[in-house]
Each structure stands twice: as C-alpha cells, then as structure tokens.
Amino acid sequence: MNPISRIVVIGLGYVGLPLAIGLAKRYSVTGFDLDRGRVDELNSGTDRTGEIAAADLKSAKLTATTDPAAIVGADVYIITVPTPVDEANRPDLGAVTAASRTVGKAIRKGAIVVLESTVYPGVTEEIVGPEIAKASGLESGRDFFIGYSPERINPGDKTHTVARITKVVAGQTETVAKALGEMYGSLNGGNIFIARNIRTAEAAKVIENAQRDINIAFINEVTMIFNKMGLSIHDVLAAARTKWNFLPFTPGLVGGHCISVDPYYLAEAATRLRHHPEVILAGRRINDGMASYVAAQVARAIAVRKPGPADVLVLGLAFKENVPDLRNTKVIDVIREIESLGHRVDVHDPVVDPAESQHEYGQTVLGSMPSGKRYDAIILAVAHEAFVKLPDIGLANIGQPGAVVYDVKGLWREAKMPGGFLYLTL
C-alpha cells in the first residue's frame, strides 16, 4: 500500500467539493468530474451549490479537471458520484459503475479506492472492486485496496460540516482502514469511527437516512389524522416535545437526493434476500403522497373561498430551505397537481437557479417577488430565510382580499396575517 500523498476525488458535487477542499489543506488533491461546466465554474472560483464561499474556493489548492490522464497514479481515489433511483425506484448505480471504470483505467499498484456515495451493503465489494479490477487488470486486495466512508454532510448546513462531524471509515483490511482513518482524521481532528467492515459502514449510512424518512412519515401520518380531528400538528408537537425522549421531527414534503431515495436502496437489497420491507416502504409511500395531500388541501380551501380557476403563488421550489438544490423537489408535484385542477400557478424562489428549474422541470421561476399581481392563494412551500418576515412586510400586497395562505412548514404560525386572509398549515 502506498503512503498517502496524492488524492483524486471523483465527482465534485455537494459532497465531493467540500471533501476535496478539506483534504487539499494537507494533501495534493485533484478533483475529477465529467461535467465540464462544473469544472470550469470551480476553476474560475464559483460554486453554484453554495457550499463553498468564493474566497475559500479561490484560495484552495485544488485542481479540477475533466481529463482522465490527469488522475493517473494517485495514492487514494475517493468516489462521490450520484446514486439516484430509476423510474421504478430501483437503485441506479450507473454513475458508480462508470466512476469505478474511470478509476480502473487510472489506478496503479498500491492505491486505495474509497466509495463515499450512499449505497446498500455490498456495492463496494461486489461492484466497485470488480469494476476496477476489470478495467485495470489488477487484483482487489492484493494490487489495490477498497474502502467505504459514508458522507453525512447536509446541504446548506453550516454547522455539521466535514470538519465537525464524526467520520465513519471502513477498509478491506485493518491496515487500509487505519490509513484511511488517518487521512480522514486530518479533516476533523481525528474524529473517526472505524466500522467493523465495509458492509457495516454501508449499512450504517443507509439506515441513518431511512430512519429519518420513517420518522418523518410517522409525523406526516399523524398530521393527516389530526387535521381530520381539527387539531394542529404544530400545537400537538409543541406539547409532545416537552417529553425528554420525544423525537423532534416535523411534517413536510420529503424530497432531495438522500432521504427520499436512500430507503429504496435498502428496500431493494432486502427484496433480493426475499425480505419484504414493510416499514421502510410504508414510510416512502406516506412521504411520497404528501405532495398530493398538500395540493388537495389547498384546492379545497380555494374552493371554499372562490369558485373556478384561481391564481396561486408558490413560494419556494428548492427541496429544502436556503439551498439551491432542486433534485427531487416535491414542490413541483404540488404545482403540477394544482395546475391539473385548472388553477394558474406562479413560482417565486430567490435561491434556486431559474435556468436549472426550466431545464429540469420546464418550470418558470421568478427570482424576485411578483409585483402588481394579487393571488387568490399563496403556498409557503419552502422555509427560505427570505420568507420569514413576509407577513410583516408584503404578504398583504400579493394576496387578494380573503386570500388563502397555506403554510406547509408552519413558518408563519406566530405571524399576524393580513385581515380576511385564511391561514392554514399542513
């Protein structure tokens, strides 16, 4: 095994970029990505994901490239490429396989390859290792070594950064795990947990996210029950949360690249072993159904106030607050359902890239608050910082008298609504 001095990070997205920049403080790091636009943007000092500030990006000793020749012969390769699901919610490991082949062509004897993408137990050993072996002609465990280290960062979260969270690490052998532990420990002052083996580390990551999904699904389910009882989930949670061991989850749309996807990886692995995952899939069903539920609630409230088609303003399109990330946003499903009922929808989000929205969803996004138009209904879909004070500073100017305000996040529960507005929360 080579001593670690040169590292290549494959995939420079939300996960790969902060990792590459952190490691570049101590090691010689090259970032490789297939997307030329992304590489050009990073080399010119911009990170559109908003994870790394321009000054930090410019001062980082990171070289980004699309050239496979530039990544030959590194000591460690770290793969941080997407792991989405296909239309049938089955794992799509195409990017992991392709990245493994890229590594296979560049790797030399003595190197270690670490997968960071979220997967089900077995992917590193059954797919990554063999793909590299095939492309390189080298033998896994003798000529090169594999490891897995799940990524836990959270888009937009400036508290739980790579420098501050415990990093779980696993290696093909104890020596590999120890070497990786030292490398990752340079990022966070040695805050490393060495997992028993690679599959255990893969399993740990996938249940971290499946557990969140299931907990949110439970809160979403009781939200629907309490709505029928005329109770507000937010009032119920405020009371229940005073118990020391009540888990503080809140209701909402569950989108994004992780929580709404990763449980399907575990479900697929279970199904292959002829175990039908009841709880995991029930959680997915409930959370996937929330967009329809919100749309139906809004439509019902509109119908009470105004017969016929209404003008609806949706505030926020990102999958979560204060990030430009549009991947798997469920707000788009809410919009499509409301439109299918004959209503007209405008969308305002000051954080996302309107061009990306147009490209991904064919959805026009207004970067600034529409002026001169008054809406019959306003849906607060994402709790962006920019919307917190809206009831005090402008909500009255964008709603028709008697407008419906549907607050998916409960952000404005304590705010004073303009007179005559009908305020509802999820």
Q: What residues are labeled active site?
A: 258
What tokens were used for 223? 């939200």
Nearer to ligand NAD, 101 or 234 (CB): 101
Rounded (10°) angle between helices 331-340 and 290-305: 40
Nearer to ligand NAD, 71 or 395 (CB): 71
What tokens were used for 9? 């990070």
Position 184, amino acid: Y
Q: Which is it for strands 375-380 and 344-348: parallel, antiparallel or unpaired?
A: unpaired
H or E stretch including 8? strand 6-10
Nearer to ligand NAD, 67 or 392 (CB): 67
Q: Give the separation between CA 404 and CA 406, rounded to whole angstroms.
A: 6
Nearer to ligand NAD, 12 or 405 (CB): 12
Extended strands (E) in 197-316: 311-315
Strand partners, 399: 375
Position 298, amino acid: V
**Residue 6: exposed, middle, or buried by beta-carbon count in 10 A (0-12, 13-18, 19+)?**
middle
- The helix/strand/coil state of 351 is coil
What tokens were used for 186? 């340079």
In angstroms, give the least distance from the CB of 237 to ligand NAD.
Answer: 25
Nearer to ligand NAD, 20 or 379 (CB): 20
Reading across the β-sheet that carries 76-79, which strands appear in turn? Answer: 62-65, 28-32, 6-10, 76-79, 112-115, 145-148, 167-171, 192-194
In angstroms, give the least distance from the CB of 8 to ligand NAD.
Answer: 10
In angstroms, give the least distance from the CB of 13 to ligand NAD.
Answer: 2
| CA angle at 176 for the pair 172 and 179, rounded to the nearest 5° | 155
Question: Which residue has the closest beta carbon to ligand NAD?
Answer: 13
Q: Give the separation between CA 317 and CA 418, rounded to whole angstroms.
A: 24
Q: Give the separation between CA 339 and CA 345, rounded to whole angstroms.
A: 7
The answer to whether 419 and 393 have CB atoms below 8 angstroms apart is: no
Torsion of CA 68, 74, 78, 82, to 10 degrees: 0
In angstroms, give the least distance from the CB of 388 to ligand NAD.
Answer: 23
The answer to whether 166 and 195 have CB atoms below 8 angstroms apart is: no
Nearer to ligand NAD, 47 or 407 (CB): 47
In angstroms, give the least distance from the CB of 350 to ligand NAD.
Answer: 21
Residue keyed to tokens 């209503």: 343
Q: Binding residues for ligand NAD, per CB under 6 A?
A: 10-16, 32-35, 38, 80-83, 95, 98-99, 102, 116-118, 151-155, 257-258
Nearer to ligand NAD, 239 or 355 (CB): 355
Residue keyed to tokens 């069903």: 285
Q: Give the separation between CA 334 and CA 291, rounded to whole angstroms.
A: 5
The answer to whether 335 and 382 have CB atoms below 8 angstroms apart is: no
Q: Within a 10 A sphere around the Cβ of 261, how many other Cβ atoms?
A: 23
